[in-house]
């Protein structure tokens, strides 16, 4: 398999059963850098390249949606220099990569509370979202200052406000209403979640949306995550039997 260049979707994958939405927790940038004797920020820089390649890969292989965890509501607790570096990196990437992504047909969107971000970054975000709004090839969503608990709290507040104003009755609150108030509203839930770096946790990512996702964990640090690792994740995904709580009739009668 090493001879494959992975320019197109590997032929042993069933193209009719590819995940329609992949979510990634891009973890291990710091440890990757440390392992090579570099400062942590070098890992973030390399991690950004990895992400760019993965967006291209999704396009090349026909996976229509990718959501990447770039900065959590908890990541503000990191040293100021690292936080500042990340925010500047996001801004620079948007500025440098927007034209190419747009050209490739990537639709860029963001999830999370963007209000505390620096105005210059918010301007780049708005520009990227607006410029790519009608693109169709891949929907690339970036989670920045994102936390699932904050998202659900925000949704609860908005719904409570509607109830207070009398435009919504408590008995009319259902799963669809809650979904409509999430940052991901309108995007189908991820089918596959991938976390790199060997950590086996969700770290406050998409708790509602991942209810029926398949999980794939790899020990590879994010900057080393390449098409070969992604291919392996997809192979594992295609081996899973997604039952959604049901039983297969054949199995239940076979005894």
Decide if residue 71 touches ligand IPE (CB under 6 A).
Answer: yes
Decide if residue 27 touches Mg ion (CB under 5 A).
Answer: yes
Decide if residue 197 touches ligand IPE (CB under 6 A).
Answer: yes
Nearer to Mg ion, 101 or 193 (CB): 193
Residues 6+ apart with CB under 8 A from 188: 20, 21, 65
Provide φ and ψ at 123, rounded to 5°. Answer: -65, -45
CA neighbor of 242 nearest in space, from 216, 213, 211: 213
Residue 102 annotated in active site: no
Provide φ and ψ at 216, rounded to 5°. Answer: -135, 125
Decide if residue 112 touches ligand IPE (CB under 6 A).
Answer: no
Q: Say if CB 28 and CB 218 are below 8 A apart.
A: no
Decide if residue 31 touches ligand IPE (CB under 6 A).
Answer: yes
Decide if residue 151 touches Mg ion (CB under 5 A).
Answer: no
Q: Which does 109 bind (CB under 5 to 8 A by kind): Mg ion, ligand IPE, none?
A: none
Q: Considering only 21-29, 171-179, 206-214, 247-255, which stretch makes contact with Mg ion by CB under 5 A?
A: 21-29
Residue 145 annotated in active site: no
Decide if residue 81 touches ligand IPE (CB under 6 A).
Answer: no
Decide if residue 25 touches ligand IPE (CB under 6 A).
Answer: yes
List 53, 75, 135, 204, catalytic entry: 75
Residue nearest to ligand IPE (CB): 30
Count, residues near ligand IPE per rule CB under 6 A: 18
Binding site residues, ligand IPE, CB under 6 A: 25-31, 69-72, 75, 86, 197, 199, 201, 203, 222
């Amino acid at each position: 398999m090493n001879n494959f260049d992975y320019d197109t979707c590997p032929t042993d994958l069933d193209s009719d059963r590819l995940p329609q939405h992949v979510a990634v927790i891009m973890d291990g940038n710091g440890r990757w850098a440390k392992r090579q004797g570099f400062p942590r920020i070098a890992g973030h820089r390399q991690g950004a390249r990895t992400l760019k390649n993965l967006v291209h890969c999704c396009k090349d292989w026909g996976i229509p949606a990718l959501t990447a965890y770039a900065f959590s509501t908890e990541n503000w607790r990191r040293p100021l220099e690292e936080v500042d570096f990340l925010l500047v990196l996001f801004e620079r990437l948007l500025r440098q990569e927007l034209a190419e992504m747009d050209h490739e047909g990537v639709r860029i969107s963001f999830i999370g509370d963007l209000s505390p971000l620096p105005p210059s970054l918010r301007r780049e975000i708005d520009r990227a979202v607006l410029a790519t709004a009608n693109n169709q090839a891949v929907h690339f969503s970036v989670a920045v200052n994102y936390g699932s608990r904050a998202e659900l709290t925000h949704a609860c507040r908005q719904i409570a406000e509607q109830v207070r104003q009398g435009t919504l009755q408590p008995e009319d609150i259902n799963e669809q209403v809650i979904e409509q108030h999430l940052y991901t509203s309108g995007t189908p839930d991820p089918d596959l979640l991938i976390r790199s770096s060997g950590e086996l946790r969700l770290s406050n990512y998409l708790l509602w949306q991942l209810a029926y996702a398949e999980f794939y964990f790899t020990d590879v640090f994010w900057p080393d995550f390449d098409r070969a690792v992604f291919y392996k994740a997809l192979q594992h995904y295609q081996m899973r039997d997604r039952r959604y709580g049901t039983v297969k009739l054949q199995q239940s009668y076979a005894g």
